Amino acid sequence: GDLLQVPPPFSAKKYKGKPLYSFARKNIEINLPPSEIFVHYIDLLAYKPPMVDVEIKCSSGTYIRSIAHDLGQSLGCGAHLFNLKRTEVGPYKLSNSFSLEQIKMLFNENKFTKFIIPLEQLLPQFPKLILNETGTTMAKNGNFIFPENILKITSPETIINSVSKDKENIFRLFSPAGKLIALAKRCEKGKGLHPFLVIDNT
């Protein structure tokens, strides 16, 4: 369900343009308001005192070491993170990944390119917006995109729901030819989209 979580002091979360860890290293305490996160589940995989092995599915921006600390506080015994392994991000799973040695072997056998995922297939969890020529030029220059610049929107209900739960509101911007040109977020004011990452896909 929905939870409120305070970022740990030794984290890359920004405060006034600087990561929190830069303040923590100087013993400067920063009190940030809690952020909304979403935890889908926490499954107990193994218990061998004093170690607990769990699997957690959560939204982006969740700090697992904070969850470990909070669980320890709730149990009255204290707890900290001993090991962390990210097994899945969106549609990408650790089980489908390659080690560096495997990549070197594929490269030497001229098979490397077969396993490269095209940019256009990245981040399928976010809505796809196809822009007109004017919108494409504007996006390439990092300018705001407005409804009149959008030819088509691909955003199934499942995608909309997943995006809203992760509080992201990120959109993939495509040219009329089907090339990924930028990632954008909603403007804080108004109805436009602002590209925050422009991709040179020429």
pLDDT tens per residue, range 100-111? 999 999 999 998
pTM surpassing 0.85?
A: no
User: What pLDDT shows up at residue 202?
Assistant: 61
Q: Spell out the residues 6+ positions from residue 138 whose beta carbon is closer than 8 angstroms to its own.
A: 131, 144, 145, 149
Q: Please, where in the chain does CATH 3.30.2350.10 lie?
A: 2-85
**How far, in Å, CA of 145 to CA of 186, rounded?**
10
Q: With a cut of 70, which residues of the chain have pLDDT below it?
A: 155-168, 190, 201-202
In the chain, alpha helices (H): 20-24, 64-75, 100-108, 133-140, 157-166
Q: Spell out the residues 6+ positions from residue 97 whose beta carbon is closer than 8 angstroms to its own.
A: none
Superfamily the domain 2-85 falls into: Pseudouridine synthase (3.30.2350.10)
Superfamily the domain 119-198 falls into: PUA domain (2.30.130.10)
Kindly compute the dihedral angle of the four CA atoms of residues 98, 102, 104, 107, in this order, to the nearest 10 degrees: -80
Q: Please, where in the chain does CATH 2.30.130.10 lie?
A: 119-198
